[in-house]
Chain A
């Protein structure tokens, strides 16, 4: 059974850097049929695609976040990561990591989500 688990600090100060890691178990992150994504959900609002990464390291970022985001993948540990720089209160959200089917781009597995609050 595939499982994804987000980890990282739940509180980040404004202007600092948010770093999250997603650990994948039950399947290889190197599967060519899937890519891996970060999706967030600010409190009380909808889902927002942040970006995605393929096991080869190719990345695709949301245009509005592109200047502040870096995603990376570590196939040896079956993990992928998100770094979001210069955070503000608007970045407060539940952050989900997810698996996306490559050919028709649907999310078939989600992590449980982790709340990250940006506050001093």
Chain B
């Protein structure tokens, strides 16, 4: 199983929007609506930002949104803020209680 494909880095200015893509295959992202996104600041554990493609957990700002089309999922962050600067990982269910992560994207604000 190869990692899901994410851009190595993206950047944006405060107040702007950025979108991070996550490309899989018909065996993972394309089949299951079980895509989640995690934010990780340096030295910290990842934090759940989006699950089930587009659902935000309680406490996550509505500036964060998720979507999916075919084999590609996307995370969009609007109204960028300095504290959004972090690494972001997508994740997809692949069957048998197993998931696959993306390689991660470094967001620079």
State the A residues within 8 Å of B (CB): 35, 39, 45-49, 52, 54, 58, 60, 62-63, 96, 100-101, 104-108, 110-113
Contacts and interface: CB of A to CB of B under 8 A. Distances in A.
Interface string B46-76: 1110011000010000000000000000000
A105 B90 CA distance: 12
Chain B interface size band reads 20 to 34
Contacts of A52: 97-98
Contacts of B98: 49, 52, 60, 62
Contact of B1 (A39, A47, A63, A100): A63
Contacts of B45: 96, 110-113
A105 B1 contact: no
Contacts of A101: 51
Nearest to A94: B45
Interface stretch (B13-21, B77-85, B99-107): B99-107
Given A46-B3, A46-B103, A47-B104, A105 B97 contact: yes
